Amino acid sequence: MRLDAPVLAGTDKLERCSLRRVVEFGSGVGQLREGFGSDGFVSPVRVASEVEARRHRRALEDAEAEVGPLHYQYKMHTVMTSPLELATHPAMLDVVEELLGPDILLYNACYIVKEPGTSAHVAWHQDLTYWGFDSDRQVSAWLALSPATAESGAMMMLPGSHTNGRLDHKVGTDGSNVLDNDQYVAGVDETDVVLCPLRPGEASFHHGWTLHASRPNASGDRRIGLNIQYLHPSVRQTLHDLDTAMLVRGEDAYGNFGTDVPATGNLEPRAMEQRAKREALVKGTYVSALGAT
């Protein structure tokens, strides 16, 4: 495993850090906006109950039993009703509305699964570096479907890093970095890192320039999250004219994206074929967007 950054002092420090910034939805939307504006993320926010989260985990695992691993596959909300339901959950959209405004496009929903006892990890990176968008009116959500803890490799965020804009990314050759091009930001100072532990059904929300990463899963359970990206409709794709999204709240006065079709069933072959085509297009453009060394 290569993380290209100093080793953290220990999980105690991480857990203490995380307690400084507990935000419960309902404690005041101003607080959400304020935390997001100053830190570049808010966490944890309860979006679904643990019972609901268990049901959604089962939906994923039933699908995996049918078609194999679904880790890091794009636009899963176009082929399965469970991620669509979560990505359009009113509690989820209420938070996104506070952060992005009343008009919301759903761009992507993608499971990120770190199996127990593997070296899979996520290196320090910024999301917006490689999506090709012309603006940062975007929010990333990460909804836990199993416990995300210090042991299982919960996400770590660097508060305030979103104010520095785009940082240089390198492209590595480490197969255990979950990211598509093994991209990473080198030499991140982890002194002020905040761990974002989540119970099933809780979510974190981060800005596209926020530096974030996660360690391997050393627990006995799978660490499963649904990663969801939302955009303001004014955002434009600069790499090509073929990108798609789905209006999930408010209005789209811009028409910058083609339309993703929401899943009406599970793993329906035509929808799966379309999803695979979209994924090939998106992933094919990332390398040029990355402009990494």
Ligand X SMILES: O=C(O)CCC(=O)C(=O)O
Number of residue whose CB is nearest ligand X = 214
- Give dist(CA 230, CA 56) in Å, integer: 20
Of the pair 167, 272, the CB lying nearest ligand X is at 167
H/E element, 66: helix 50-67
Of the pair 44, 271, the CB lying nearest ligand X is at 44
CB of 22 to ligand X, least distance (A): 19
Of the pair 25, 209, the CB lying nearest ligand X is at 209
Q: How many CB atoms are located within 10 Å of the residue 72 CB?
A: 16
Q: Are 113 and 224 in contact (CB under 8 A)?
A: yes
The SS3 assignment for 93 reads: helix
CB of 218 to ligand X, least distance (A): 14
Beta-ladder partners of 223? 114
CB of 211 to ligand X, least distance (A): 10
- Give dist(CA 57, CA 80) in Å, integer: 12
CB of 210 to ligand X, least distance (A): 9
| DSSP tag of 116 | T
CB of 241 to ligand X, least distance (A): 25
Direct distance between the N- and C-terminal alpha carbons of the chain, in angstroms, rounded to an integer: 20
Q: How many CB atoms are located within 10 Å of the residue 65 CB?
A: 8
- Give dist(CA 212, CA 245) in Å, integer: 24
Q: How many CB atoms are located within 10 Å of the residue 16 CB?
A: 11
Q: How far is CA 271 from CA 65, 99, 179, 208, 237, in A?
A: 18, 31, 24, 28, 23
Of the pair 154, 271, the CB lying nearest ligand X is at 154
Of the pair 42, 271, the CB lying nearest ligand X is at 42
Give contact residues for ligand X (rule: CB under 6 A): 112, 122, 127, 140, 142, 155, 212, 214, 225, 227
Of the pair 133, 271, the CB lying nearest ligand X is at 133
CB of 225 to ligand X, least distance (A): 5
